[in-house]
Structure 1
């Protein structure tokens, strides 16, 4: 930790003293060390840090000043160090994971929760609350993960007060409990787990008989039960979203602290925001409960990028008197920069120290040495990845051509004539895969540039899926009107066709089809738009006033690649991030086909999103065989 200043205390909040105290009880402090939503992101990540104002002496190959460096941060090897050090130096520490531990990366695809359980047991959480994605592979998939989690001597309690498994569920007996009680200095502290009900039922795949009860009513039920048992210090560990947590706190009697997850909310300082991170609010947030007493609300972002540290002081009656703390983002003190297109170099000497000093002005950042044992544990899984990546997950019956627009000639295994009329085979299939693995969606949309290779007939492996879809995009759903969807298509074509655009913007879809006239004026290039929700019924003209749920990747969902109307919807908060990496979505689709003894094949012609195509030169690909360009 040399070179970085000690953690700053941020956001001191004080509640009013509450009444007289019982002689038998005593005031205590506890320290909550928490994380959430790591989604199988086990390894460290990196972020770009602007160093243009630091006057570094290092330059790139062209002799130009370095404008940014890569900073390595997060990951379980550094999180292990952080949790160990903070546990050793804190008063009455409680280590908390607030849900969505699994699904999202190759570590889950290949190890089905074993790798996640191993690194979680390495930290040894005192409580783990279930999130919605814990049910992505049904109750049986959750049971498998929890078996891995309980195979270690750590034996973390798994909390889910509002989850009621059916008697036939794989998690019916002995897997979950509504709450746990910990003791510090003779005082009881109760921790209750709450999972987000509707989202879990509608966006994940719990067994039909598993019930998800109302969050507010269930929380109050168990708060009352604990209070009747003499527990007056109540912490909710929720996977329920930040804004919901604030409302939950205000509606409950007897709640003191909420440690949350699900919305991937980053709470922190203005300095962290100025460094380019999307800080939503200060840490901790403070509100009052139904009794008018203070409630501290915290969350710790995502992907094992940081740990939250909250110190809460309780009076003799269990009423919160103060909360203070900050998130802690662990980083290494080694920084790399791009020397040329094929070489990265490490900063050294004075340059490295200048970056260290600059990062030290951000209260959340702390230099940390990765834990060697955890690194070895990760290496053991990584060694298996190379073998497991070659796991065959399905069969491909046809060569599936890659193009960006109809007749482009980009494919390396197909003649341009194969994609001349309707465009890419595989891009249409990718859009369908995302639709099929997202139960709440009516329509899937994918930009052509996000699909990278042809798919040849034969065996298909996990590695093939990551070659096809190599980016770290996640699947997003958005509720949009028919008119907004048509405008999105027009946006994409404008970026494809007009000056300065990208052919990678060309839109592909599933459950949605249309005619394209690239020679028409901007805003008039799409016609005859039809919808067939989930490709499960008949095609009908899109209702411009109706609302449809669209699944797409978060890159274009945020408005990039020319998808401006997506960006408007996204920035208005009208989206749900499934946090499923899009390669994982395709792997899940291949698994679905294999389970049904089906191969990946070309779609029927009526399913192709581009039903007819007229190029920029006015040449109609449906009527002429000699059109050139697009």
Structure 2
């Protein structure tokens, strides 16, 4: 007779310091009229309450229980900007996950923040392909050997494994993170990442040889790579993932597109829970004695405010309001209990309100200036925005002018799209808007001198990487935006010849004029330290004659100073990007 093993699982990922509920929008229909319904969902106090309930339900039913975090707790809001991970560790301890996998944003600023995080958390941090075998044994923030870190075992080419009870057996949890970490984050030079699929293959094989068949991979690889992992590595019972902000569940009735929850690849279910602590994944899982998932029932769940904001072309009557609220209540992806919608753990709420929120509130009231129109951020140019982002060039302009105000001569500014996080709405702009939402990464600026030929190569390489044109790139975040440089890219041309025109703004006799960039002439530029480090297609910037860190200026500081001096963003920003996709005409 085959035994059945039952597990209740709760999971979150890519929470990015969203401790408070996040604004969400639904599209509902009532009596053939459409309505936009706004609420706030999730946050740590609501997630804490629901996890507590799920844990108790599992205990009452005799089930084993796991609560897992799919990585990227760091960055994203003013809470991180102000407290640098201290609040993250404190509040995650109060949520009490059984494990978290290392995300790329945990290591944006090197190993030191990871060490501080490890020293504070009460749960294991899994990074099974993080190779610390070459780490300097004398360094102050050494990670190797840390009791909370489950890293790589180089002599066995496998991950350290977390074992948890599952009936009369054990379930093995393998934490696997991005092996492209050096391309998209900033780990210390002595920290390396082994191939994700090879590490998982070796680890699963060793577990199977030891008689452990129930194997869960806690992944920070993203949806596409998780599917590849399921195809390439037989024997994985379940993948719980993050990184790609993928929402699963049937939300079509409330106007949200999402993938099926528990989507299977090679009979391995994959689970993701969206982003920003908006939703919580909850499911009941049954395994057979060989580790195969035989039943998975669950969903991602929104945890909403009791009161809704509803907009429509027709007047919203009390009857309409109640009907739309009942639609949400009836949806299987919305959690409520006996008419209560926004149940929270008061302990977590009080800690946020008393210990962390006062500093955030002060920044929300500090006005920098005025923006006369919406400035939309998109990483890539599109039909709607043929020159790409409307706000990224303003960020580049601020870098350019604020660097020059320090009496440092630069000819241009260059920045990657991923360093700008969202659009800027018309109206007043506060310190909180910049530090918490637009430019949350406090990256130093770097000045460098570089030959013109390498600027051609840098721009093409970064765009090729952003668009997967002839190469496998690292995502659309590498797309380049500029000030003082303007270029024309045609992705249909042969590799190495796709930058058709490249011009630089030059001051001659007190007048600014555009001139072609000469391959053998030296130019001075400024970029963030991330971009200047050669990541995500920018490797030719490492050919610079010299790189000099600007100690007195970070990326958000430059934008803040520019905004304050100009009292906002005024005037017209001429296009600096002319872009033709390699897909045009296909």
What's the TM-score, normalizing by structure 1? 0.59
Could you say which residue in structure 1 is the equivalent of 2:182?
A: 201
Alignment match of 1:332 (pick from 294, 302, 305): 305
User: Per-residue deviation at 1:371?
Assistant: 2.2
Partner SS for 2:304: strand
Could you say which residue in structure 2 is the equivalent of 1:540?
A: 517
User: Per-residue deviation at 1:131?
Assistant: 0.8
User: Per-residue deviation at 1:432?
Assistant: 9.2
RMSD across aligned C-alpha pairs, in angstroms?
4.8
User: Per-residue deviation at 1:143?
Assistant: 1.3
Partner SS for 1:255: coil
> What does the per-residue CA deviation read over 1:430-464, in whole Å, with 9 as the maximum and x for residues that have no partner?
58999x9xx9966899899949799xxxxxxxx96
Could you say which residue in structure 1 is the equivalent of 2:123?
A: 156
Q: Give yes or no for contact 1:334–1:352 (8 Å, CA) kept in 2.
A: no
Alignment match of 2:95 (pick from 123, 129, 134): 123
The reply to whether residue 144 of structure 1 matches residue 116 of structure 2 is yes
> Structure 1 unaligned runs (5+)?
1-19, 56-64, 289-293, 340-344, 392-398, 405-423, 455-462, 485-506, 516-526, 533-537, 543-549, 552-575, 577-589, 603-609, 615-630
1:65-76 to structure 2, matched below 5 A, reads 67-76=35-44
User: Per-residue deviation at 1:78?
Assistant: 1.1
Could you say which residue in structure 1 is the equivalent of 2:463?
A: 480
Q: Give yes or no for contact 1:259–1:297 (8 Å, CA) kept in 2.
A: yes
Could you say which residue in structure 1 is the equivalent of 2:107?
A: 135
User: Per-residue deviation at 1:312?
Assistant: 2.1
Could you say which residue in structure 1 is the equivalent of 2:4?
A: 27
Q: Give yes or no for contact 1:400–1:426 (8 Å, CA) kept in 2.
A: no
Partner SS for 1:102: coil
Residues of 2 paired with 1:513 and 1:257: CA distance? 48
The reply to whether residue 84 of structure 1 matches residue 52 of structure 2 is yes
1:126-525 to structure 2, matched below 5 A, reads 126-148=98-120, 150=121, 155-165=122-132, 166-168=134-136, 170-174=142-146, 175-177=148-150, 178-198=160-180, 200-269=181-250, 272-279=251-258, 281-288=259-266, 294-337=267-310, 350-367=319-336, 368=341, 369-380=343-354, 381-386=356-361, 428-429=397-398, 450=424, 465-466=431-432, 480=463, 509-510=482-483, 512-513=485-486
User: Per-residue deviation at 1:361?
Assistant: 3.8
Check 1:465–1:432 CA distance in 2 against 1; reply closer, same or farther (3 A cut): farther
Check 1:539–1:264 CA distance in 2 against 1; reply closer, same or farther (3 A cut): farther
Partner SS for 1:334: coil
Check 1:440–1:247 CA distance in 2 against 1; reply closer, same or farther (3 A cut): farther
Residues of 2 paired with 1:390 and 1:312: CA distance? 47
Check 1:85–1:531 CA distance in 2 against 1; reply closer, same or farther (3 A cut): farther
Rg: which structure is higher? 1
Residues of 1 paired with 2:174 and 2:420: CA distance? 40
Residues of 2 paired with 1:159 and 1:263: CA distance? 18
Alignment match of 2:19 (pick from 9, 31, 42): 42
Partner SS for 1:480: helix
Residues of 1 paired with 2:233 and 2:93: CA distance? 32
Residues of 1 paired with 2:573 and 2:288: CA distance? 72
Check 1:308–1:447 CA distance in 2 against 1; reply closer, same or farther (3 A cut): closer
Residues of 1 paired with 2:236 and 2:94: CA distance? 30
Check 1:473–1:74 CA distance in 2 against 1; reply closer, same or farther (3 A cut): farther
Partner SS for 1:331: coil
Partner SS for 1:366: coil
> What does the per-residue CA deviation read over 1:538-592, in whole Å, with 9 as the maximum and x for residues that have no partner?
97379xxxxxxx99xxxxxxxxxxxxxxxxxxxxxxxx9xxxxxxxxxxxxx995
Partner SS for 2:116: helix
Check 1:430–1:357 CA distance in 2 against 1; reply closer, same or farther (3 A cut): farther
User: Per-residue deviation at 1:611?
Assistant: 13
Partner SS for 1:234: strand
Partner SS for 1:513: strand
How many equivalent pairs are there? Answer: 435
User: Per-residue deviation at 1:124?
Assistant: 0.3
> What does the per-residue CA deviation read over 1:18-66, in whole Å, with 9 as the maximum and x for residues that have no partner?
xx86xxxx431112210100011111012233456269xxxxxxxxx99
User: Per-residue deviation at 1:79?
Assistant: 0.8
> Structure 2 unaligned runs (5+)?
151-159, 374-392, 404-409, 442-458, 468-479, 489-499, 506-514, 520-526, 529-535, 537-548, 563-570, 576-586
Check 1:130–1:540 CA distance in 2 against 1; reply closer, same or farther (3 A cut): same
Residues of 2 paired with 1:130 and 1:86: CA distance? 24
Residues of 2 paired with 1:108 and 1:469: CA distance? 10
Residues of 2 paired with 1:390 and 1:35: CA distance? 31
